[in-house]
Amino acid sequence: MPTTTPSTRPRPVAGTVALWALQVLLAVVFAFIALPKAMADPIAVAPFDLIGLGIPGMVVVGWLELAGAIALLVPRLCGLASLCQVPLMIGATVLSAVVTPDLVAIPACTLVLVCVVAWFRRHDTAALVRMVRR
């Protein structure tokens, strides 16, 4: 049974550069916000205590964000990483809306940017899933 692959047009160089620049920016942002959580900084505990996750939940979220930051820089994983960061950023946006409504724009903008990367990397994510299924 022959398999066909959908025709894919190569992304323009400027688009590829812009997408990688956005991924690097997001990786820096995620690393910056993840480190205090992953290292159990007492200042970062309050929002997680509010929703009942406490220090263990905060540390798990911090390590997930840090893993996502690193994976955003790996060509084969960047699509999946951005897709996995979407639910984390939805949670961060909702939590920020409850705890610090004045700062909700920061996680909301980050959520939008992660969605942009996930959308443009959707073919890479599908290729990764196909590769794993073999």
- pLDDT single digits (tens) 70-107: 999 999 999 999 999 999 999 999 988 988 899 999 99
Q: What is the DSSP letter of 43?
A: G
Q: What is the DSSP letter of 51?
A: T
pLDDT over 70 at 9, yes or no: no
Decide if 107 contacts 92 (C-beta within 8 A): yes
Of 5-14, 17-26, 104-113, the one with minimum mean pLDDT is 5-14
Compute the Cα dihedral for 81, 72, 13, 10 and give only its sign.
negative
Query: What is the model's pTM?
Result: 0.83
- pLDDT single digits (tens) 14-52: 889 999 999 999 999 999 999 998 888 888 888 888 888
Q: Which two tokens stand for residue 68?
A: 């996502």
Q: Cite the DSSP H helix spans in 1-134.
A: 13-38, 45-50, 54-71, 78-99, 105-120, 122-133
Q: What is the mean pLDDT of residues 9-16?
A: 81
- C-alpha 112/C-alpha 51 separation (Å) is 23
Q: What is the DSSP letter of 74?
A: S
